[in-house]
Amino acid sequence: MQKEFQFQVLPEEAADQEALYKLASQKAYIPFSDIRHVEVLKRSIDARQRIIKVNLTVRVYVNEDFVETPTWLPDYPDVSSAEEVVIIGAGPAGLFAALRCIELGRKPIILERGKDVRDRRRDLKAINIDHIVNEDSNYCFGEGGAGTYSDGKLYTRSKKRGDVQRILKLLVGFGATKEILVEAHPHIGTNKLPEIITDIRECILAHGGVVKFNTRVTDILLKGDAIEGVTTASGDIIKAKKVILATGHSARDIFELLDRKKIAIELKPFALGVRVEHPQSLIDTIQYKCDDRGTYLPPAPYSIVKQVGSGTNTRGVYSFCMCPGGVIAPCATSPGEVVTNGWSPSKRDQPSANSGIVVELRPEDFKAFAKKGPLAAMAFQQSIEQMAWKEGGQTQRVPGQRLLDFTNGKLSADVPETSYKPGVTSVELGSVLPDFIYKTLQEGFREFGKAMKGYLTNEAVVHAPESRTSSPVRIPRDQETLEHIAVKGLYPCGEGAGYAGGIVSAAIDGEKCAEKAVGYVAEVVGE
Ligand code: FAD
């Protein structure tokens, strides 16, 4: 017999099978000797009270042996001679689109401008150490896309996006820990992601798909109102009737290409701000209300949102992509710009906690760039990244300011070393950020300081800018067919097209676009 129930335990109890048996026995009135196994189905930390508890949903096996469910992957057929679907971009959207194509009997041809995960490492080293940005291979471009050298957080704010659990199960099938199916806020970590991405690529190749690295798409070929193929930087023409465009939010050349070719795109407001780094121990103290988090609690995350300003000037300021025990990375995709983002290893064991703190933007914020039409938000984003590069010293050094100095508009006398490897230059960040963003962030941080005692400190360092939070452009598509509103056979997909915001939602969108491209119609269960 199996019994499922929920209870709260202390963190040390959650880590101890014997303790869980005892608790299950007491709470469910099951004789201890009848319990064969306690399987944890869901786990989350409740840090709202002084005594921190872990919420568990468990399944107790009573006089019944536990049989571990094997990891699952679909029964992928060989598609080497099947009809082709061209996929531009090997980020989560492109890779999951390719897997779904294979599952549904089509041959995916992935064209990726960057290198495979192993060779990509050299370019990450070059940007961190030598300040050299490779425009095709960096933290955003290359196999696995922006998701590879990331924190690998796997939760999505909107449950409406689709079947999150299916994506998590696929990731487990490709080698991710089963814990991601249990944790309320699962993450994988930069050290584990490349291996998973490699396994996905090997699966695609083993079943007859094609993956071409160092292959930047430079043109989209049309015949009337339908796609006919693409051209690559080396001049090759690849004919295709179905093209999934999953090039991510940083592929500015693709947005410019679409605009030049008069393939409709739209301005999309995004969020922009800074990335702040605190000692992890300080965040632990604030969040867990204790001096030391001990052995059983993970490095504490935080998530905060405040509305600041008044009337029509009210704006949301919020934490974005918070990385406990993580590192701030230089994420520029072109020389002459500075961009920050964050990652963490699977253990999140680095000494600092970093988070994007961003301000929501509106269409009217991009007025100064109106002549750029639908590319106005992108031009605004680019101008701030270029200003950061200039103020930081025209290398990958990032302009930075101590947090309290930032809120007081005061240049920091010095800025300590942070996890951002290329280095930090002390700059009064009002010279990098537009005034309305600077002031909104200052007010936002003051509000955060009231909600999280100790947060507003000069021990923390603000780095600017955090600017690639989501795409500054939307590529409009038909809600039903998911094809571009004016180009048959072209499927704008993932974060760059404006239909995802993170690894899991990009993967879900990749699957959806693949289904439409192959003409798959889901069976309706129960009719
Ligand atoms: P992308 O991942 O951007 O992939 C697009 C791909 O297209 C790239 O590989 C690029 O090289 C390729 N490409 C671009 N132009 C061309 C072209 N012209 N020809 C051929 N190929 C092209 N999200 C989370 O959910 N959790 C996190 O913890 C997280 N942390 C992050 C940390 C960092 C450092 C970064 C940079 C991002 C992070 N993100 C995180 C965001 C996440 O990575 C993206 O939301 C996700 O990768 C978007 O997937 P995508 O497939 O739509 O696009």
Per-domain boundaries in the chain: 2-62, 84-266+472-518, 271-466
The residue nearest atom 45 of ligand 1, judged by CA position, is 502
**The CA-based dihedral angle spanning residues 143, 144, 150, 155, taken in that order and rounded to the nearest 10 degrees:** 180
First-to-last CA distance in the chain?
Answer: 32
Residue 130 is classified by DSSP as I
Measured CA to CA, the distance from residue 512 to residue 527 in angstroms comes to: 22
- Please give the pLDDT value at position 494: 98
Dist CA 401 CA 414 (whole Å):
8
Distance 142 CA to ligand 1 centre (A): 9
Please tell me the distance from the alpha carbon of residue 527 to that of residue 523, in angstroms, as a whole number. Answer: 9
Residues 469, 140: Cα–Cα separation, whole Å: 12
pLDDT of the residue at 527: 45
**Ligand 1 center to residue 506 CA distance, Å?**
9
Question: Which two structure tokens, joined as six digits, stand for 419?
Answer: 């996890």
Between CA 123 and CA 127, with CA 126 as vertex, the angle to 5 degrees is 90
Element (H, E) at 506: helix 503-518
Rg, C-alpha atoms of the chain: 24
The C-alpha atoms of residue 466 and residue 400 are separated, in whole angstroms, by: 12
Within 10 A of 184 (CB to CB), how many other CB atoms are there? 10
- Which of 99, 150, 260, 333 to mutate to test ligand 1, by most ligand atoms within 8 A of the CB atom? 150
Cα–chain center distance at 525: 32
Q: For 133, which DSSP code? A: P
What is the structure's pLDDT at 229? 98
Q: Is 32 buried (19+), middle (13-18) or exposed (0-12) by CB count in 10 A? A: exposed
Distance 148 CA to ligand 1 centre (A): 8
**CATH value of 2-62 in 3.30.70, 3.10.20, 3.30.2300, 2.120.10:** 3.30.70
Query: Looking at residue 162, what is its pLDDT?
Result: 87
The complex scores an ipTM of 0.99
φ/ψ of residue 2, rounded to 5: -120, 140
Residue with tokens 């800025």: 415
Ligand 1 contacts (CB < 6 A) are: 88-94, 111-114, 139-142, 145-147, 150-153, 216-217, 246-248, 251, 254, 321, 329, 331, 341, 343, 494-496, 500, 502-503, 506
The residues pairing with 244 across neighbouring beta strands, listed in sequence order, are 87, 491
How far is residue 111's CA from residue 245's CA, in Å, rounded to a whole number? 10
Distance 254 CA to ligand 1 centre (A): 14
Neighbours of 482 (CB within 10 A): 21
Alpha-carbon distance of 343 to 216, in angstroms, equals 26
Closest C-alpha residue for ligand 1 atom 41? 502
Query: Which residue out of 140, 258, 348 has the highest number of ligand 1 atoms within 8 Å of its CB and is therefore the one to mutate?
Result: 140
Of 403, 390, 405, 384, the C-alpha closest to 469 is: 384
- Taking the CB of residue 200, how many other CB atoms lie within 10 A of it? 24
Token couple for 317: 């300021």
Largest Cα–Cα distance in the chain? Answer: 75
- Which residue of 321, 358, 493, 499 sits with most ligand 1 atoms within 8 Å of its CB, as the best mutation to test the pocket? 321
CA of 515 to the centre of ligand 1 (A): 21
Residue nearest to atom 44 of ligand 1 (CA): 502
Q: Which CATH architecture has domain 84-266+472-518?
A: 3-Layer(bba) Sandwich (3.50)
Distance 208 CA to ligand 1 centre (A): 24
Q: How far is the CA of 9 from the centre of ligand 1 (A)?
A: 38
Q: What is the pLDDT along the chain (527 residues), one digit of tens a residue?
A: 999 999 999 999 999 989 999 999 998 899 999 999 999 999 999 999 889 999 999 999 999 999 998 999 999 999 999 999 999 999 999 999 999 999 999 999 999 999 999 999 999 999 999 999 999 999 999 999 998 998 889 987 666 778 999 999 999 999 999 999 999 999 999 999 999 999 999 999 999 999 999 999 999 999 999 999 999 999 999 999 999 999 999 999 999 999 999 999 999 999 999 999 999 999 999 999 988 999 999 999 999 999 999 988 899 999 999 999 999 999 999 999 999 999 999 999 999 999 999 999 999 999 999 999 999 999 999 999 999 999 999 999 999 999 999 999 999 999 999 999 999 999 999 999 999 999 999 999 999 999 999 999 999 999 999 999 999 999 999 999 999 999 999 999 999 999 999 999 999 999 999 999 999 987 766 54
